[in-house]
Amino acid sequence: MFTGKRIVVTGGTGSLGTVLVRRLLSGAVGRPERITVFSRDEGKQHAMRLSYQHRSTATDEVIFNSFEELLRFHIGDVRDPAGLSAVLRDADVVFNAAALKQVPTCEYFPYEAVQTNVSGAENIVRVIRDNRLPVETVVGISTDKAAKPVNVMGMTKAIQERIFVRANLDCPDTRFVCARYGNVLASRGSVIPLFHAQIRHGGPVTITSPEMTRFLLSLEDAVDTILAAVAEGQPGETYIPRVPSARVDDLAAVLIGDRAIETIVTGIRPGEKLHEILVTEEEGHRTLARGDYYVIAPMLPELQAGVPDERLEREYSSSHDVMDRSELGELLRGNRLLIDDERAGELIV
């Protein structure tokens, strides 16, 4: 799929970007001509470079050799059109993973979120449009919080989605698609690393609300969703993974196990939702199932290929089909996230 392609990953040193780059380097989806990590954090770029330089075991051979030949690093910010022009001028595929994504941070600094999540997306579109760059595909990486947004992070991501969908009209030679997913297991800033730390310190484990539910997927599942959008997505479509969900208090209970650790309820944080929603009722009327994913057709009639025959017709919420504690334990065990596992927390990158 990516053989011979020149790929740019904005925000490529983040949790998702790191796993995406590793997958691209593995050769599993073709051998790109070049992968450029574009981000503003020189420390994370340096650490990422060193991590690949130190991989020399047989199992890492493909990634190690690919890194030596393919991976490049570029300091810059999606807020800066000039910097984007420099890195996008010969790109074939762009993954926009650059974001301000911490909900409380975005609440306290809303305009900072606007500049990265909204203006950053618009800058990508303008650079491609105004310079007539031959970019084939742009993938906007979004979040469940963009559906029925109640916080600044979700509001800015919802606008980002609309910017990328609309861009298909301005840049007809470039395909813009989106991938929207929920809570990623053990990603930086998520609840599992917090629970791990609290348990290791003897508690208490803090729960915002006993009724709260969350979708659960691994970083690899998130990457699969993004790659499916590239492989199959039509202009303006948004890909949604169909994944399990769980109550947060069950998540805490399974991680605690039989330890004598107290849990306390702290209340919902600013801008936090009780349940995650990946597809709203309005979107359900233009959402179809495609393989392991739901696909939302664009709202703009110019981009619609027709109303799907079999539509979702309802919202898709984490409050539906919630796993019990046994199922949740199996999921966490399969992802090596139970705290007794020797490799517990391995997905924290």
Report residue 203 CA to chain centroid gap: 30
Report the distance separating Cα 164 and Cα 271, nearest Å. Answer: 24
Q: If DSSP codes are grouped into helix, strand and coil, which group holds residue 106?
A: helix
Q: Is the distance from CB of 241 to CB of 323 less than 8 angstroms?
A: no
Beta bridge partners of 63: none
Report the distance separating Cα 160 and Cα 174, nearest Å. Answer: 17
Q: 145, 148, 157, 273: which one is catalytic?
A: 145
| 198 CB-side CA count, 13 A | 19
Q: Is the distance from CB of 316 to CB of 282 less than 8 angstroms?
A: no
If one counts every other C-beta atom within 10 angstroms of the C-beta of residue 297, the result is: 22
Q: Are strands 175-181 and 137-143 parallel, antiparallel or unpaired?
A: parallel
Report the distance separating Cα 268 and Cα 47, nearest Å. Answer: 34
**CA separation, residue 126 to residues 35, 141, 245 (Å):** 22, 18, 38
Q: Are strands 263-265 and 205-207 parallel, antiparallel or unpaired?
A: parallel
| 104 CB-side CA count, 13 A | 5
Asked about 145 being catalytic, the answer comes back as yes
Catalytically active residues, by annotation: 145
